[in-house]
Structures are given as structure tokens and as C-alpha cells.
A and B are shown apart, each in its own frame.
Chain A
Amino acid sequence: MIKIDNVSKKYQTIPVLKNVNATISQGGVTAIIGPNGAGKSTLLSIISRLLLADEGQVKIQNMDVVNTPSDKLATYLSVLRQENRFTSRLTVFELVGFGRYPYSKGRLNQDDLAHIHRALEFLNLTEYKDRFLDELSGGQRQRAYVAMVLCQDTDYVLLDEPLNNLDMKHAVAMMKQLRRAADELGKTIVIVIHDINFASVYSDYILAMKDGQLVYQGSPKKIMNSAILEEIFDTPVKIENIHNQNIAIYY
């Protein structure tokens, strides 16, 4: 369980998060939605200790993320940011192998290799494992990054806009893979996502943010409501039920 307790954050003088309280229960996919500048990525960074909150506290499995040793936390929680640019040329295998660093500190053992191969397999990357990252397409590279955090084998996996740079086909495939990771591997997946229809179809729980505050939370059924979405996004939204899925029409 992730417990977010009264978290606030300012950049210089501009508040980006104001007293956010939330609980993300174990298992399933939780989506964080909201307009640009709502504080979604900041919240994700604070949960994953990449950023320090000005006030408040985040606890994962009852461990305070600030005070718990970073290497211990790395075996409970993994995070993937939007931008990943490396100066070193790494192969897919090497990158995914870094997911095992919290366990083996760089000396890969048989168990680690098994994890790496499983993660590669899971994201259909086995055939590309010896390619360099800069030789891959955007979709393949994004999958390699996700494979790395999955290989880290943590209960909690936090992803900041994992669908960035992905086309329709790859976006759907990525969401299905994340869904599978939650269902088959029992992970707790938290994603920041822009496309609310993806959130509606693939997530179990939605946190909706606006202006640095958590304004709504609940099941996709509850959040996928035109009044709520119009309030969050300041734009007309209609909800249609298509094939038993709530789809927002806002074009």
C-alpha cells in the first residue's frame, strides 16, 4: 500500500502540489490523470523519492520513502521517468540487466539472468537483446525501459507516461503488457497517463488531479463521468458506452 499523507511541493514560489492525500492499494493498475501542470509527474517523483516534498510524507509498505535506505527501497519500488537519455551506448540486455542492480550490485548470477530473460520475454524483446538502444525504434526502446523496471522485480512499478512516443498499436500493446504484469505477476502498477480512455479501459483505479490537488478518485466507472471530466479538463466531454467500456468523446 502506498500512503500519501498531506504532501505539498513548491517550485520556487509556485505551488505545484497542495496537501495531497491518497492511498494506493496493493495490486492492480492505478492511473493518475489530469491536465498539463496538474502536478501528476511531481507527485510520481515524490512517491518514488526522486524529488523531496516540502511537506508531508509518503509511505510504501509502511516505509517512509525519504528515510528508508535507497537501496532497500529499490527492491520494493521502481520508477521510470518520461525522459531517458543515456550518454553511454548500452544494449537492451545491458539496460535490462541494470534492473538487477539492487540485488546483485552488478555481478549477475544465474537468478538474475533468469529474471532478465523473463523480462525480455515478457516484453517481446528477446530477439533485440543485443541491439544498442540507439538502434531501436521509439516503441522498442520504450519497451526496453519498461523491461528494465519490470526486471527490478518490485511490488510497485511507477511509470510516467509510458505511452509517450508510441503509436496506436504499440500503445495498446504496452497497456496490455502492464495489465498482464498486474494480473499475472501481481504487481502494483501506477501510471501517469494523458489519454483518459486508456485509463478507463485498462486501469482499476483513477486518481484525478487538477492545480496540484487531488480532486477525484475512484473506479474508472465513477470517474468516467462527463460532469467530472469537464470539471477536471475544462473542456466539453461526452461519455459513450461502447462494447461495455466507458469512452470519452472530446474532439
Chain B
Amino acid sequence: MRVNQKRHISSRKTVLLLLAIATFCVIFFMTFNLKGNISYILTHRVWIALTMILVAFSAATSTLLFQTVTNNRILTPSIMGFESLFVLIQTVVIFFIDAQGIPYIGIVGKFIFESLLLILFSLFLYRGLFTKLKQNLHLVLLIGIILGTLFRSFSNLLQRLMTPTEFAVLQSRIFATFTRAEPVLIVFSLVIATAIGLFLWRMRFRFDVLALGRDNAINLGIDYQKSVTIILLLVSVLVSISTALVGPFTFLGLLIANLAYSISGSSQHRFLLPTAFLLGVIFLVGGQMFLEHVLNMVGALSIVIEFIGGSLFIFLILKKVPM
């Protein structure tokens, strides 16, 4: 019992330490080089910081949940094509509603509509893949990646088919950037994310059981099918939030989830979830500041994370995954 307690204390300490670093990063980000129209700059930075925190939260929780329910540490929603699917849905919506129609339903209305579509399609597309997972992980992964490519190519095609003015609406979506999200959407996402966060916190012990795999989870009295559905639903909403706010961010989830596994020292979700979330905040805010102020490259963060995450993926698939 004592050793167990000790480990819990150290996992808790890790969370607190990360919380301190993350807070420091955010405060530093807000106050660094503050001159000129201070209230304007501060407001601007608050929105950016909130966006980054939301993206970190979405990436961390959606990836952890996805990996827990698939019992696998390589699969992530983005690698399986969720983000690309959302971008495709956005493109199709613009394609059919056209840019002029969007003010009618509003940004939030459009977001809700697109998220619902993503939930619908992801349940339809991915639920079947879960049951095949056990038989062949690599096939499922490859199918997911190619599905992602297909969605991307298809949205690319649709974007090109639109007139040049409409094309401009989506053209900037190639790289994730933190500066374009609409305040309304940020506030709305914040509300949803908080609700999801509270819900997840209540379910944290259930996730520990799900991580034991399907058979053990059923043995311990969990309605597995329902849990898979709920998690896919939550993952879809979280992916929608992050993609709608900043665009695709393929490897962020993989990176912070795997880092969280290795530094948390615990496999309990009450530690893993906050650890991954805070790591995400530190990565995004810290990385953004580093790139912006040291290298003077504002939009490069998603590329750097793509580089690190892709390398990590190769490493994981070569070393870690049991066949």
C-alpha cells in the first residue's frame, strides 16, 4: 500500500509541476514585450491563449480516450482521418451552402451543423474498424491514413472547383494557426469543452477499466458497446472544436499522449488526462513563443509538431507495438 501511495503522490506531483510550468508559460505569453495599445494587445493575446488551451485540451482528451478504447498507443483520431473528415465536411458545407449563406446560420450554427455531421459519419465509418482492430492493427492504421488522404484530396478538389473567392475561405487551412479563430466560436467551444471535461472527470475510473481491453471491461460490468459509442461521439466533438478553431494538427495528440504515458508514472486517467492536457498547453504556448520570438516564424508550430510527431510514430511502430 505504501509504495502505491508513493507512486500516486509522484504522479500528482508531476501534474502540479506541469500546472506550474503551463501557468508560467501562459502568463509569460500574455505579458511578454507588452507595449503600445496594451488593452488591445492583451485582448488579442487572451483569445490566442484560450484557443491554444482549447486545442491542447481537445487533442489530449480525444487522443487518450481513443487510445484507451482501442487499447493501443499509436492510433489517434487525427491519424485515423477525423480531422481531414471534418475539413472535408467544412468544404462540402461551403460548397453547397456557399459563402454568402453562412451568415444566415451564423458561425456557431455552422459549427454545430458540421460537428453533427462529423459525429454521424465517424460513427458510421469508424465503429466497424474498431472490431477489426484486434485482428490487424496495421491494416486498420493504413486504412485510416489513406481515408485521411482521400478526405484531404477530396476537399482539395472541391476547393478548386469553387470560384476563386470561395477558395480563399479555405485556402489558409493548410497550416494550423492560432490567430484566426472567431471569439464567438472560442467562447462556445469553451462551454462545450468545460462540459465535456466535467463529464470525463466523472467517468475517469471507467476509462481505467476500459483500458484493460474489451473482455476485461465487460467482465467488470461495463457496457462496452455504449462506451465505444460515447467515446467516438466525444472524440468527434473534440476534433471538431480543435479543427474548427485552428485547422488540422495531425500529430499533436500522439505526441502529448505518449509523453504523458511515459512521464506520469501512472496508468490512471485521473493523472493521465491532466498530464497530457498540461503538456499540450506547454507545447503549444511555449513552442509558439519560441518560434515567434526566437526564430521569428509565426505559423510554423504545426510543422514542427508534425516533424517530431512523425518521427515518434516511426519510433513507436518500430519499437513498441506488440505484433
Taking Cβ atoms with an 8 Å cutoff, the residues of A that contact B are: 48-50, 69-75, 78-81, 84-91, 93-94, 98-99, 101-102, 105-107, 113, 129-130, 149, 152
Contacts and interface: CB of A to CB of B under 8 A. Distances in A.
A106 B205 contact: yes
A107 B221 contact: no
Given A87-B73, A98-B209, A70 B221 contact: yes
B206 A105 contact: yes
Contacts of A105: 205-206
A101, A113, A129 interface centre (most CB from chain B within 10 Å): A101
Contacts of B122: none
- Range, interface on chain B: 20 to 34
Interface stretch (B109-117, B145-153, B210-218): B210-218
Contact of A71 (B4, B73, B204, B222): B222
A106 B206 contact: yes
Given A94-B268, A106-B205, 15 more contacts: A50-B214, A50-B215, A71-B222, A75-B221, A81-B215, A84-B216, A86-B213, A90-B267, A98-B220, A101-B209, A106-B204, A106-B208, A106-B209, A152-B219, A152-B220
B322 interface: yes
Interface of B: 1, 3-4, 7, 67, 71-73, 204-206, 208-209, 211-216, 218-224, 261, 267-268, 322
Which 4 residue pairs across A and B have the least CB separation, nearest first?
A106-B205, A74-B221, A88-B267, A71-B221
Given A70-B218, A74-B221, A152-B220, A87 B211 contact: yes
B205 A101 contact: yes
B267 A89 contact: yes
B4 A94 contact: yes
A94 B267 CA distance: 10
Contacts of B208: 98, 106
B221 A73 contact: yes
Nearest to B207: A106
18 contacts: A69-B221, A71-B223, A72-B221, A74-B220, A80-B219, A81-B215, A86-B71, A86-B211, A87-B71, A87-B73, A87-B211, A89-B267, A90-B267, A94-B4, A99-B220, A129-B4, A130-B3, A149-B219
B218 to A, nearest CB: 6
A70 B205 CA distance: 16
Contacts of B3: 130
A48 B219 contact: yes
Nearest to A90: B267
Contacts of A75: 221
Contacts of A101: 205, 209, 220-221
Contacts of B71: 86-87
A70 B223 contact: yes
A225 to B, nearest CB: 35
A141 B211 CA distance: 18
Contacts of B214: 50
Nearest to A101: B220
Nearest to A78: B219
Contacts of A129: 4
B209 A79 contact: no
Contacts of A99: 220
A107 B211 CA distance: 17
Contact of A102 (B67, B204, B220): B220
B10 to A, nearest CB: 13
Contacts of B215: 50, 79, 81
A107 B270 CA distance: 12
B220 A107 contact: no
Nearest to B268: A94
B4 A49 contact: no
Given A101-B209, A107-B205, A85 B218 contact: no
Given A70-B223, A79-B219, A106-B205, A86 B212 contact: yes
A8 to B, nearest CB: 21
A130 B211 contact: no
Contact of B213 (A74, A84, A94, A149): A84
